[in-house]
Amino acid sequence: MSVLLYARSRTLPLTAASLVTAAAATAWCADWLMAQPAFGAGARLPVVVLAPLFASAAIGASLYTHSEELDRTAVRPWWPRRLCHLLLLTALAAALLAAGVRGRPEQFGAPAMVRNTVAATGVTALAAALIGARLSWLPVLAHTSAVYLTAGRDPGGRRAVWAWSVQPGPERAAWWTAGVMFAMGTVVYAVRGARPEGPAPRR
């Protein structure tokens, strides 16, 4: 299968366009929040939490395959394509979103955005391999929503491991968690691919 055909079958152009749109919205929202004096140092926290969710959902949707049987009969192994697919989209999403929160890295800036994008994509890739690409966005959404509502705003400590999405950029424990989750999701998805699913229901 050619690179162009692979890209079209995984809707990669649409995914890239979605990431660009998300980055533009992120930049606008981050600037607006920073302009509101009432929000203080954590003004960009909602953007740093929500933008990676959208990006990882877009990436997760691109992991769906419409030709599972054809994929299994391919002569060449599929894991290199899956690996490059996931790594390139993750790098693109992290770079675009980080550009929207430049400056003040200690106050939920580019480092936190990159970390959350990497972690959310790792969880999404793992979910795609285990439950299917169509619902791959659900686990990270559930986890992040629960953390955002219950974790509080004091950084560091043990909560940095499970509440990584609401930690400032320099928090090392949150970075370790993000790295582990991305590595797990990447390896499992590259080896197994997305879980086979039935055809989409007709309307």
Q: What is the pLDDT of residues 187-200, one digit of tens each?
A: 999 999 899 876 54
The pLDDT of residue 46 is above 60: yes
| Burial class of 82 by CB neighbour count within 10 A (0 to 12, 13 to 18, 19+) | buried
- What are the pLDDT digits (tens) for 147-167? 988 866 666 777 888 899 999
Tokens linked to 115: 């970390």
CA distance 173 to 48: 17
Residue 136 or residue 34, greater confidence: 136
Q: How far apart are the first and last CA of the chain?
A: 30
Which of 62, 50, 47, 83 lies closest to 8 in space, CA to CA?
62
CA distance 141 to 78: 28
- Average pLDDT (31-58) is 88
CA distance 159 to 172: 12
- What are the pLDDT digits (tens) for 59-76? 999 998 766 555 555 556
Provide the whole-model pTM. 0.88
